[in-house]
Amino acid sequence: MDKLVVFFERNYRTSHMQIQCVPVPKVCGAQILEVFQDEAGINSIHMEVLPPFTEIMQVSLPGAPYFHAELPSGDQLYAKTSKHFPIQFGRDVLSSPPILNCEDKADWRQCLLSREEEDSHVAAFRQKFRPFDFTAEDSDSESD
């Protein structure tokens, strides 16, 4: 598939958490860390590369706001955040020209689909994911 995946989360004292999983072209893999660091510098964000195998709970206090990214290289990035941290930071980085080159998609509101388009995407995803869905009934094993 010639894709890698970048995971990121922005935890800011909310009642829910989201980990974003974004596929990126393999050819961009070596640039991702540098692009995150450049964008952090532009936004005056102190971003640190965590030592290998570091868990978030080792560097962040419970309930403290943070930004965390896991890169295909295995590097993990961490930043303490404040109310002025750019809400779309992860999307800004990944949608930038060196990575996905789709800056118009940095704001999720620019990605809204009609209900019909959403339903079509859901149906296609369910069909492709079915072989991996351990919760789906396995008709072959029931007939044994």
- CA 37, CA 71: separation in Å to the nearest integer? 12
pLDDT of res. 131 = 92
Q: Which of 141, 8, 54, 34 is nearest to 96 (CA)?
A: 34
pLDDT of res. 63 = 84
Does a structural domain hold residue 114? yes
Instruction: Return averaged pLDDT per consecutive 10 residues of the chain, 144 residues in all.
Output: 94 78 95 97 96 93 92 97 90 97 92 95 95 77 48
Task: Encode pLDDT of 86-106 as tens digits.
Answer: 989 999 999 999 999 999 999
pLDDT of res. 143 = 46
**Cβ contacts of 29 within 8 Å, gap of 6 or more:** 4, 72, 73
Long-range contacts of 57-61 (CB under 8 A, 24+ apart): 60/11
Domain that includes residue 62, residue range:
3-133
For residue 33, give both structure tokens: 């860390």
How many domains does the structure of the chain reveal? 1
pTM: 0.82
Does a structural domain hold residue 141? no
The residue whose two tokens read 């590369």 is 49
pLDDT of res. 144 = 46
- CA 131, CA 123: separation in Å to the nearest integer? 14
Does a structural domain hold residue 143? no
Q: Which of 75, 89, 73, 78 is nearest to 39 (CA)?
A: 89
